[in-house]
Chains A and B, each alone.
Chain A
Amino acid sequence: MKAPARRSALVAWGIVAVFLISWEAGVRLMNIPVYLLPSPSHILATLADNPSMYAQASLLTLGEALIGLLLGVLAGAAIAVLLTLLPGIEDGVMTLAILMKSTPLVAIAPLLTLWLGFGVLPKIIITALLTFFPVLVNVLSGLQRVDQPFLDLFHSWRASRWEVFRYLRLPGSLPYLFAALKISAPLALIGAVVAEWTGASGGLGRTMWLAYTNLNLPYLFAAIFILAAAGMILYRLLAWAEGRAVFWQSISREL
């Protein structure tokens, strides 16, 4: 890691550490009961005491989230490509997409359970529904938003609509795709968890719900810690991938 990157990583860890220490101190000094707010040490101990349970739950939820994300990204990107190649149907398709996006999960989830059963499939579909819209909007924007000088150049080459798409629009939409991914990835985690709340036999969402209805807050927060960590790791992974894939956009991080 280069020096500035290492420094910023240290700063990040430092902030997290300060946050956790203040939380711990606050709970102890103010004698906050565990059913109102457990201390980080208690939460971490709960995690340590149930490694396999949390590991299994995490794997399941992460699996649902990632597969759902993949599906959502593919769907969103595919629709965006379609709308770019067939601009006439853009209004109609976007209206449908907005309708789908606006329908609250609570209404859709039970229907999906009804049609698809109790397994992971409804959770994956719900996650995909949640994640496809940012991808659709962003990738469409990226595909459509090409600067005039480029279009003029391609015109001088008498490039066909398909050639403009393949050589200009598609590669140019990559930064937009990554921007959407950075939004959709955390959404996918949330989606999988919320989907599990509406009925699941496993996963972090289920663990959280069971813990809450037992008002067992350490178990609840342990799951939340895992989700937070997962979200962070996912984001960092995406940022790294973006740096490699969209190498031409230098994101200067001069500290």
Chain B
Amino acid sequence: MHRTVILLLTTVLLSACAAAPTQPAPSSEPLAMTFMAGYKPQANLPFVGVYVAQQQGFFREENLTVTIEHSAGQGQHLQLLAAGKVQVTTQDAAVLLKRRADPGLPLVSIALIGQRGQQAYAALAGSGMNTPKDWQGRTIGYKGTPPPDLFAILQAAGVDENEVELVNVGFDPRLLTEGKVDVYPIYKSNEPYLIRSWGYDLTLWEAADFGVANLGLAYVTSEETLANQPELLARFLRAALRGIEYARAHPDEAVQTVLKYTGPETDADHMRFMLESELEDAVSPVTEQNGLGWQTLEQWQSLSEMLQQYDALPRLDAAQAFTTSVLQAAQEK
């Protein structure tokens, strides 16, 4: 009788000791933050990750309250991030490097979702242009300022930049279909859908095809938030990456979630197209080895060098522009 009791007690004690460490530590205090998408609501992959995480309760499971905002695309998201009003935003990798250089915004990429950029150039299929060599003597549009990958492509194809006419265009693919420009700058995941829906076929050229470094969208935070709130960022990233994986597995559901943030003016098939395109470009040898969103010094450095060469960017320390610490923290658990 006494032996059984002792055995029982010992078992209980041992299991209690064993149980304690295997039980996951409770997610400590509730945290709150604001995420600002770098553009309007649409199916860009980093946005989708956040929308889905919100919808599926991934943030809640991290004991994290996330307020989702959207930028109007004129750079306020970076200002607000630098001012501490927003903790995470999204940005194109090249623009991140440029803004670090000038005017010196303290931006850090915590995850590189777009392993390849979406920027490309399109011409109407019937235009007779097959390679960039055919751009000679033609009108080429650019948004904002002539981008470095444009010059990189020209150089790779051996076309003198003085032999093409560069025109500042806004977002208006109708310029291409109405013949106002011969080559139009696009995002692979966006304009081609629209243009094809109008009944036109396209020829596309990507910088990557010409050996030009090109990276896509990243989740971005400020140096200050990174230093002071790493736990917050880790929880956020963990949930957002789960959101992206969920979207990959359930694309239709993900599109419905996106439509909650857009309005009835947005086409579901368009969003589906955008999601699928960006999912493709989220995968690379780097992510296959290290997981979704991973980024290496080599990737950032080659982008930085390309920018220095074609954009006259001052020398940057690419290592400061990104970190894998949050990715690592997110992967723990």
Contacts and interface: CB of A to CB of B under 8 A. Distances in A.
A contacts B: CB pair < 8 Å: yes
Interface in B183-231: 194, 198
Given A114-B79, A214-B270, A215-B174, A209 B72 contact: yes
A53 interface: yes
B169 to A, nearest CB: 14
B79 A110 contact: yes
A207 B72 CA distance: 12
Interface residues of B, number: 27
Nearest to A202: B263
B246 to A, nearest CB: 25
A121 interface: no
Interface string B161-190: 000000000011110001000000000000
Interface in A202-230: 207, 209-216, 219
Given A214-B265, A214-B270, A215-B194, A201 B85 contact: no
A224 to B, nearest CB: 13
Interface string A114-134: 100110000000000000000
Contact of A210 (B69, B83, B85, B262): B262
B263 A53 contact: yes
Given A110-B76, A114-B79, A215-B174, A199 B71 contact: yes
A106 interface: yes
B70 interface: yes
Contacts of B74: 106, 110, 198
A118 B171 contact: no
Given A110-B74, A216-B265, A219-B265, A209 B79 contact: no
A36 interface: yes
A33 interface: yes
A50 B174 CA distance: 26
A60 to B, nearest CB: 13
B263 A113 contact: no
Contacts of A210: 40-41, 262-263, 265-266
A199 B80 CA distance: 12
Contact of A198 (B72, B172, B262): B72
Contacts of B267: 214, 216
B198 A118 contact: no
A167 interface: no
A201 B69 contact: yes
Contacts of A197: 72
Given A35-B198, A113-B76, A201 B171 contact: no
List the 3 closest pairs (A to B, CB-CB), nearest first.
A219-B265, A199-B72, A216-B265
